[in-house]
């Protein structure tokens, strides 16, 4: 039985078990504290322990990684490993092979499981110490008794390195001194210090970790045998240049293909446009400091160390052929390489695991495929990049996040290392670890509707693109991947199609900014893997293929209601967030919506500019920057509980032919939201919270025309209510980063409370409140105390926050029409409230929207009377022809409609959403 697949001949369970069974060592008595009584095995001194071990693996086979088996979780597996090692150390036992087999299988599982189940938890306990100590001891024993340079030696070294590295990084962070001492005793048995396990080594060590028996490594092997390292390097570089040459037709995995010559020229002068969670230009001067923190931003190093600038220079070179771009690419890469050695202990600087995963999967691959044959790159950089790829593989095997998009990206990067560099002896192990972890994390990192569980379109695109690169390489190379993983990738691409704006960019919902990202390059990868017409349609921006059959889409678990009139760049889309808070990167924005029409965003989400604890952070993440409602000046605050149900039981979304209708509720607290980024004064917020006010929002979208936003606030007492809308800025300039600008839209506030943007060359929007005459209208823009009126688009840009404010006794309701308008000075609809009666004193609203009559029962199906219209159902939009005769009825839950005493339709049961032709 192979440990890491058929690609590692000689490294099988029987051979490794034989070596471990014969190992001579002493098990420290204090380490007995590390095992448990309920792990499936008796104590190691129990009679017939070996038979118990053999029976255990037969009765409890190792489950697939998505099984989440309690029997094979970290505490149980680590506990059994300690027992098995104690048994093997006892020289009285002669028959040890079955126990050693279990020991090897458990070590292989601990290698991928330990880092993700421990992560960076601040207080490690018994399970952590049992896992680190037993994995280090298992690897150390095999390494000691195995020939240097063999496949087993390299794998055993990585087991030892992972156990010791985890212990060195986290071992002293808790108060559990007894178990820590026990783990230290296990590590001390093999007596290997951390220096001997450093990730990066000398030339001879590097070449000893390559499989020189591969056909493409014969020339390298000859020079290594002679100890001629210079010629070995040249031969290895020649082989790599041939492997990655353009004639091989590797997949084009660039996720950013825009050529920006001005930005590339700046990079050549060490001037970088930092676009990861910020948008600012930074001049590093004569030399780049890769550790520099800018403006006290906790993630300001992300852009520099994820190597986005590599693609800027690569794209500029491929467009112009100017050699200076390759010259500076080599200079900068080697500067990073020389000043950023991999660390044995986990680091948050150049070797933060998220960036370590991004580099192989998103940045270095395109460079390898693009210029490996270029004389300068081949001579100056190719070997360094290959050596660092091996370092990346070792480091990502040792350390990882505990879940979410980080772990997804890290796993994808590790898989890319294995696939691009099959000559690394550990590549099969890297691939196995990556696939196991990726399958494991996707169980919870994706919701059943396919959305990444953080519910941010940007943080959905990110892991889907990296996962896609790994799967594209696997397909290109004929390497198998788990079927469930491939299916998850396909579903993740479906999500991008439905959540994207008509220009194929993503809305900045939840954490996202400071620009909208394109899905075209990501979907192109899906079209390559799956050969689907709809993927090809997006990948070619409508030039080939066909779009999905239905434009609107329901994300039942993420909670997004996507209301779209048609596919194509001239289409409209309204996205309503009526569900899950999200597993990370969340904003307090339930019932928020965005609206795109006329080839631009009209009502938008300002996103977030930086991950910085400053005066802007509560604004970006709080309700104030979203299109929702604020009570008494307080933000939503779902973080203080109670826990949400998924899918949201209050949410309802109906997709019709000519319209869509959605309902959502916010039933949690409102608070000052003083809690800062990733923590803060939750207790203070909870004490100041309002918990007896709830917000209901219904949206009726007439496809291609306008939307009616209906808000009801229920509760007790009198409260200040602010209904918020954020007209999106106008983008100017061409598509490259150095020339795009965002400015606040021009608008007017009319006496009736309507707000109408007035752009001569760009689409406009009208915000038309039915109760406008009774509301105070505020236009907050560019304020800092408190922060109001900003947008995180190509910088922190002043932009309009339109606030409709009143003080009302509850319950109260407000209806607002959002109407797209063409460039210029078109006249919007006239919107006004109409008297309506609803049986049973149920809450209802009626509006005249131009010539249309709209009725809504907030409480669901009811009988409503308005003018000469009697309607039974939840909602009705009644359209009249030019003669004033009823022409069409857009109905939700419709049972009956009569006008002027004449019955126009009647049904025994509520109708599905439909448009009824009344002529």
DSSP state of 729: P
Helix (H) or strand (E) holding 857: strand 852-857
The DSSP code sequence of 617-665 is HHHHHSGGGSSSEEETTBEE-GGGSPPPPSS-TT-EEEE-SSEEEEEEE
Task: Give me the mean pLDDT over the 165-188 stretch.
Answer: 94
* % pLDDT > 90, the chain: 86
β-partners of residue 661 are: 654, 700
Task: Give me the mean pLDDT over the 492-507 stretch.
Answer: 98
- What is the model's pLDDT at position 121? 62
Task: Give me the mean pLDDT over the 345-362 stretch.
Answer: 95
Q: Which residue has the higher pLDDT, 8 or 788?
A: 788
- What is the model's pLDDT at position 13? 74
At 285-316, the pLDDT tens digits run: 999 999 999 888 878 899 999 999 999 999 99
Instruction: Read off the tokens for 610.
Output: 């930086």
- What is the model's pLDDT at position 675? 53
Instruction: Read off the tokens for 803.
Output: 């606030």
Structural contact between residues 662 and 578, judged by C-beta atoms closer than 8 angstroms: yes
Q: Among the listed ranges 246-260, 336-350, 401-415, which one has the minimum average pLDDT value?
A: 246-260
- What is the model's pLDDT at position 662? 98
- What is the model's pLDDT at position 495? 98
Mean pLDDT of the chain: 94
Residue 63, φ and ψ in degrees, nearest 5: -80, 165
Length, in residues, of the chain? 919
- What is the model's pLDDT at position 130? 97
- Check pLDDT > 90 for residue 379: yes
Q: How far apart are CA 266 and CA 13, in angstroms?
A: 54
Q: How far apart are CA 227 and CA 84, in angstroms?
A: 41
- What is the model's pLDDT at position 122? 59
- Check pLDDT > 70 for residue 274: yes
Q: How far apart are CA 357 and CA 555, in angstroms?
A: 29
- Check pLDDT > 50 for residue 730: yes
Residue 440, Ramachandran bin (φ over 0: left; ψ between -120 and 50: alpha; else beta): alpha
Q: What string of H, E and C letters represents the secondary structure of 52-82?
A: HHHHHHHHCCCCCHHHCCCCCCHHHHHHHHH
Question: In angstroms, what CA-CA distances link 133 with 74, 123, 698, 724?
Answer: 13, 16, 57, 56
Q: How far apart are CA 685 and CA 692, in angstroms?
A: 15
At 187-226, the pLDDT tens digits run: 999 998 888 899 998 999 999 999 999 999 999 999 999 9
The pLDDT-based confidence of 7 (bands split at 50, 70, 90) is very low
At 838-880, the pLDDT tens digits run: 998 789 999 999 999 999 999 999 999 999 999 999 999 999 9
Task: Give me the mean pLDDT over the 32-37 stretch.
Answer: 96
Predicted model pTM = 0.96
Query: 188, 195, 190, 237: which is closest to 217 by C-alpha?
Result: 237
Structural contact between residues 539 and 486, judged by C-beta atoms closer than 8 angstroms: no
Q: How far apart are CA 348 and CA 356, in angstroms?
A: 10
- Check pLDDT > 70 for residue 834: yes
Q: Among the listed ranges 3-7, 176-180, 680-684, which one has the minimum average pLDDT value?
A: 3-7
Task: Give me the mean pLDDT over the 613-626 stretch.
Answer: 93
At 452-481, the pLDDT tens digits run: 999 999 999 999 999 999 999 999 999 999
The pLDDT-based confidence of 640 (bands split at 50, 70, 90) is confident
Query: 602, 586, 623: which is closest to 501 by C-alpha?
Result: 602
CB atoms within 10 A of CB 397: 24
- What is the model's pLDDT at position 5? 53
- What is the model's pLDDT at position 126? 95
- Check pLDDT > 70 for residue 119: no
- What is the model's pLDDT at position 412? 98
* % pLDDT > 70, the chain: 97
Gyration radius from the chain CA atoms: 31
Task: Give me the mean pLDDT over the 505-523 stretch.
Answer: 94
At 552-578, the pLDDT tens digits run: 999 999 999 999 999 999 999 999 999
Q: Which residues are within 8 A (CB) of 365 and not within 5 positions of it... i.e. 6 or more apart? A: 250, 253, 416, 420, 469, 473
Structural contact between residues 456 and 511, judged by C-beta atoms closer than 8 angstroms: yes
E-only strand ranges, 242-382: 271-274, 280-283
Q: How far apart are CA 788 and CA 800, in angstroms?
A: 9
- What is the model's pLDDT at position 175? 86
Instruction: Read off the tokens for 787.
Output: 């922060």
Q: How far apart are CA 627 and CA 795, in angstroms?
A: 21
Residue 712, φ and ψ in degrees, nearest 5: -125, 130
Structural contact between residues 390 and 209, judged by C-beta atoms closer than 8 angstroms: yes
Question: In angstroms, what CA-CA distances link 461 with 169, 449, 527, 528?
Answer: 31, 15, 15, 17
**Per-residue b or e along 695-734, where b marks 16 or more CB atoms closer than 10 Å to that residue's CB:** bbbbbbbbbebbbbbbbbbbbeeebebbbbbbbbbbbeee
The pLDDT-based confidence of 772 (bands split at 50, 70, 90) is confident
Task: Give me the mean pLDDT over the 902-911 stretch.
Answer: 94
């Amino acid at each position: 039985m192979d440990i890491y697949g058929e690609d590692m001949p000689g490294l099988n369970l029987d051979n490794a078990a034989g070596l471990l069974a014969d190992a001579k060592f002493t098990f420290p008595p204090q380490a007995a504290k590390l095992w448990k009584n309920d792990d499936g095995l008796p104590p190691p001194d129990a009679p017939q322990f070996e038979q118990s071990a053999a029976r255990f693996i037969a009765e409890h086979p190792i489950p697939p990684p998505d099984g989440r088996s309690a029997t094979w979780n970290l505490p149980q597996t680590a506990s059994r490993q300690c027992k098995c090692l104690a048994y093997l150390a006892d020289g009285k036992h002669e028959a040890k092979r079955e126990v050693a087999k279990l020991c090897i299988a458990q070590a292989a599982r601990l290698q991928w499981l330990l880092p993700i189940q421990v992560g960076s938890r601040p207080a490690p306990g018994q399970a952590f110490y049992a896992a680190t100590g037993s994995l280090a001891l298992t690897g150390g024993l095999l390494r000691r008794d195995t020939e240097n340079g063999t496949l087993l030696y390299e794998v055993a070294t990585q087991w030892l390195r992972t156990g010791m590295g985890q212990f060195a990084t986290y071992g002293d962070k808790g108060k559990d001194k007894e178990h820590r001492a026990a783990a230290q005793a296990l590590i001390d048995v093999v007596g290997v210090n951390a220096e001997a396990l450093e990730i990066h080594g000398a030339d001879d060590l590097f070449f000893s970790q390559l499989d020189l028996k591969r056909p493409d490594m014969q020339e390298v092997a000859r020079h290594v045998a002679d100890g001629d390292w210079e010629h070995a390097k040249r031969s290895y570089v020649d082989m790599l240049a041939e492997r990655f040459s353009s004639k091989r037709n590797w997949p084009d995995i660039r996720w950013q293909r825009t050529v920006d010559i001005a930005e590339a020229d700046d990079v050549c002068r060490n001037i970088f446009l930092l676009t990861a969670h910020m948008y600012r230009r930074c001049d590093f001067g004569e030399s780049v400091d890769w550790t520099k923190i800018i403006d006290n931003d906790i993630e300001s190093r992300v852009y520099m160390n994820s190597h986005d600038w590599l693609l800027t220079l690569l794209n500029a070179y491929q467009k112009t052929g100017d050699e200076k771009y390759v010259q500076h690419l080599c200079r900068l890469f080697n500067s990073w390489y020389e000043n950023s050695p991999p660390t044995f202990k986990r680091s948050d600087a150049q070797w933060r695991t998220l960036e370590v995963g991004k580099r192989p999967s998103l940045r270095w691959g395109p460079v390898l495929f693009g210029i490996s044959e270029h004389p300068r790159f081949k001579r100056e950089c190719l070997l360094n990049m290959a050596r660092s790829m091996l370092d990346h593989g070792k480091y990502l095997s040792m350390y990882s996040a505990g879940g979410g998009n980080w772990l997804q990206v890290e796993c994808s990067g590790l898989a890319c290392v294995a696939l691009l560099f099959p000559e690394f002896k550990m590549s099969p192990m890297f691939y196995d670890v990556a696939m196991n972890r990726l399958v494991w994390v996707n169980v919870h990192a994706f919701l059943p509707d396919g959305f990444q569980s953080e519910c941010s379109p940007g943080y959905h695109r990110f892991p889907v693109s990296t996962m896609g690169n790994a799967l594209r390489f696997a397909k290109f190379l004929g390497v198998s991947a788990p079927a469930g993983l491939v299916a998850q990738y396909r579903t993740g691409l479906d999500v991008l199609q439905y959540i994207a704006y008509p220009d194929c960019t993503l809305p900045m919902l939840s954490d996202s900014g400071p620009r909208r990202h394109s899905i075209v390059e990501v979907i192109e990868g899906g079209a390559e893997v799956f050969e689907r017409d709809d993927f090809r349609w997006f990948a070619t921006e409508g030039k080939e293929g066909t779009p999905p059959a239905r434009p609107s889409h329901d994300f039942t678990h993420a909670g997004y209601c996507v209301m779209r009139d048609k596919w194509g760049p001239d289409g409209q889309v309204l996205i309503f967030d009526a569900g899950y808070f999200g597993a990370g990167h969340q904003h307090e924005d339930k019932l928020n919506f965005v609206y795109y029409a006329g080839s631009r965003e009209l009502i938008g989400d300002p996103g977030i500019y930086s991950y910085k604890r400053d005066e802007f952070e509560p604004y970006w993440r709080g309700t104030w920057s979203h299109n929702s409602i604020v009570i008494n000046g307080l933000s939503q605050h779902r973080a203080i509980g109670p826990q949400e149900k998924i899918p949201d039981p209050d949410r309802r979304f109906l997709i019709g032919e000519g319209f869509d209708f959605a309902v959502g509720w916010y039933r949690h607290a409102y608070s000052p939201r003083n809690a800062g980024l990733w923590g803060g004064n939750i207790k203070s917020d909870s004490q100041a919270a309002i918990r007896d006010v709830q917000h209901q929002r219904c949206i009726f979208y007439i496809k291609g025309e306008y939307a009616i936003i209906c808000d009801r606030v229920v509760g007790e007492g009198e409260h200040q209510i602010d209904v918020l809308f954020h007209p999106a800025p106008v983008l100017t300039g061409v598509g490259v980063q150095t020339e795009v600008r965002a400015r606040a839209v021009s608008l007017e506030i009319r006496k009736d409370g309507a707000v109408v943007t007035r752009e001569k060359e760009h689409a406009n929007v009208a915000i038309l409140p039915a109760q406008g005459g009774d509301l105070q209208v505020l236009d907050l823009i560019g304020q800092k105390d408190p922060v109001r009126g900003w947008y995180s688009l190509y910088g922190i840009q002043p932009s309009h926050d339109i606030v409709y404010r009143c003080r009302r006794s509850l319950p109260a309701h407000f209806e607002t029409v959002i109407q797209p308008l063409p460039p210029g000075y078109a006249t919007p609809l006239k919107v006004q409230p109409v008297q309506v009666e609803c049986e049973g004193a149920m809450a209802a609203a009626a509006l005249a929207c131009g010539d249309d009559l709209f009725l809504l029962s907030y409480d669901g199906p009811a009988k409503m009377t308005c003018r000469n219209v009697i309607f039974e159902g939840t909602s009705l939009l009644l359209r009249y022809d030019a003669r004033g005769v009823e022409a069409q009825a857009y109905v939700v839950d419709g049972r009956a409609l009569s006008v002027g005493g004449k019955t126009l339709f009647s049904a025994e049961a509520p109708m599905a959403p439909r448009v009824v032709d009344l002529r």
